[in-house]
Amino acid sequence: MDRCWIRAAVAGLLLVVTAGSVDAARYRYGRGYARGGEQAGIVISVEGGLVNIRNADLVYATSESLEVFSGGVNEVVALIPGAEDDIAGRMGVGYQWANGNLLTASFWAYNTSTSAAAEGPLSGAFHYSIGPPIALGGGDFVGDSGTPGFFSLMTETDVATADIAFGRSHELGDEFRMAWSTGLRYARFEETTSGFYDDGFFAASTFGDNRYKADKTIDGDMIGARIAARGSYFFSPSFSISAGIGFAFLDGEIKAFSRLTPSGLINSATQPSSLSVIDDDGRSGRTADFDVRVTWHPSTDRLRVWLGWEQQDWSGISKDGLRDFPGTATPLEARNSVVFSGYQLGAAYRF
């Protein structure tokens, strides 16, 4: 994690010369854009929003309840913790030339955590999802399920991007504006899960005898080229609506590990631990971004304030290759991407 932050910091230092996104090119038609030239200047932008992580498929356990009689129903349910909105922030600084060229940069960061604890059904079992089951030989495994079973787990997701790009804005009439950019993107994805599983019943005297400490970390670190475009329509002298889309094609590495460590009063003295490691520096990934905004332009157009919604799809860099180990009681679907979406409020000022 420290190495990732060092790379992000270096990228951030390279970005200190420029601003947020291709939106920095959006100036008011008729006043801020005088037929043949933008208003030159340094632009500083800040943006914050409430963002939710989606499609993460954080399955902590699979609950299996048994009703072995006529008319009974046997249920198998994946236990997925709920995700809540958390704050994400973006900031940047850049320079706009009078001919419409612009050099921009931005840094975006988002952190969220989720946790859950639950007990298995009395007439069934929990099948554990984190960590490779511990092989004892002869086809026997432990740490794969508990009857009824219990878990307490927490997952923290920490992501960031740093972009630097050259772009240009074009006036397509008094009311329409287009802007494009091309440049580099650095992206980091880190997901960490920790907690424990217990084979026993929470209120039973044997609770804590057979317990397993569970840990799992996925660390994706990539850099590559990014292209983006934005179209704006001024539906009044003071307001515009715009939509932007961008794609980044990344190369880098994914480092990950998952393990179970016996930590109970009994099993810690009798059972080995398990560990699975991924260290692959030949990975590729992609990010796709889309957003829509309504922007207010005051009379001088030095200040712009916008409200909008955005969605980012991170593929490859967030791949979870630590599932479906030998001995796993309930296989899980593979996860290759996650999505971040939410509302945004931002402002930019040109000096």
The string of pLDDT tens digits covering residues 60-90 is 999 999 888 888 888 999 999 988 899 999 9
pLDDT in tens, 293-324: 999 998 777 899 999 999 999 999 999 999 98
Is residue 288 very low, low, confident or very high in pLDDT (cuts 50, 70, 90)? very high
Whole-angstrom distance, CA of residue 73 vs CA of residue 78: 16
Q: What pLDDT is attached to residue 143?
A: 94
Q: Residue 29: what pLDDT? A: 37
Q: Residue 20 has what pLDDT?
A: 38
What's the chain look like in SS3? CHHHHHHHHHHHHHCCCCCCCHHHHCCCECCCECCCCCCCEEEEEEEEEEEEEECCCCCCEEEEECCCCCCCCCEEEEECCCCCCEEEEEEEEEEECCCCEEEEEEEEEEEEEEEEEEECCCCEEEEECCCCCEEEECCEEECCEECCCEEEEEEEEEEEEEEEEEEEEEECCCCEEEEEEEEEEEEEEEEEEEEEEECCCCCCCCCCCCEEEEEEEEEEEEEEEEEEEEEEEEEECCEEEEEEEEEEEEEEEEEEEEEEEECCCCHHHCCCCEEEEEEEEEEEEEEEEEEEEEEECCCCCCEEEEEEEEEEEEEEEEEECCCCCCCCCCCCCCEEEEEEEEEEEEEEEEC
Angle, alpha carbons 251-256-262 (nearest 5°): 175
Residue 25 predicted with pLDDT over 70: no
CA 39 to CA 111: how far, in whole Å? 36
Looking at the predicted structure, is the pLDDT value of residue 28 above 70? no
pLDDT at position 330, please? Answer: 84
Q: How confident is the model at residue 6 (pLDDT cuts 50, 70, 90)?
A: very low
Rg (CA), the chain: 25
pTM to 2 decimal places? 0.85
Q: Mean pLDDT throughout 146-170?
A: 95
| Rounded mean pLDDT, 282-302 | 92
| Pick from 212, 39, 69: nearest CA to 131 | 212
Q: Domain map of the chain by residue range?
A: 2-350
What CATH number should be reported for the domain whose range is 2-350?
Answer: 2.40.128.100
173 vs 288 pLDDT, higher one? 288
Q: What angle do CA 279, 285, 291 make, to 5 degrees?
A: 140
Residue 38: its pLDDT value, please? Answer: 63
Residue 31 in this model has a pLDDT that exceeds 50: no
Q: What is the pLDDT of residue 196?
A: 97
Asked if 324 and 291 touch (Cβ cutoff 8 Å), the reply is: no
pLDDT score for 331: 85
The larger pLDDT score, comparing residue 21 to residue 167, is at 167
